[in-house]
Amino acid sequence: MGRETEGHAVWRDQSGAVRALLESDGIILRGEVRGKLPRAGLMGWRVEGEDLCLSSDGEPLVLTLGAKEAGAWVKALEKPVPSLAAKLGVSATARAWVIGGPPPEEIAVAVSGATVAGPEGAAMIVAVLSGPDHLEAALAAGQASGLRVWCVHGKGKAAAVGDAAVRAAFRAAGWVDIKASAVSDAFTATLYRPPV
């Protein structure tokens, strides 16, 4: 999905200028009207003139984006949401070597039936970072194997290993973050590729 547009929103008795983001997990409104509308609750999307009209869990939302952009949002909303496995690139032909702490349920489901026990036969590493030792092990495994590494870690200040620590460690070693994917409300994942 991944659309971002400036416009005007009317939602929950609020009205104002917004930056609206359409993500795979829903719509985020930033600006004078703020909110996060989960994808599962979105329905009835349609274009009316310059407006994208829809409802979120039964509450109407009107986003004035312009006819062309509203039409593009409708097309994006009609596309099926890719599975987490598809976002990660994990499949029966692109298997993952899972290391680190116990994976969150969403990761366990995404890699189910598509894992290997070591770097041989792996297309990537999925590193679940439950502590600093897992971060060090993920970087070492990536360096030894030359495989790309998905770093799965908690969100927010309470995370055992946060995004800043992961980015600092991998970038210091010359790795580049090339893709990110939400995993759940509590976890996120970032893909790093080895230095060229």
Between strands 3-11 and 59-64, the pairing is antiparallel
pTM of the model: 0.75
112 pLDDT band (50/70/90 cuts)? very high
pLDDT digit string, tens, across residues 143-184: 999 999 999 999 988 899 999 999 999 999 999 999 999 898
At 1 the pLDDT is 54
**What's the rounded Cα separation, in Å, for the pair 59 and 113?**
40
pLDDT digit string, tens, across residues 16-71: 999 999 988 889 999 999 999 998 899 999 999 999 999 998 999 999 999 999 99
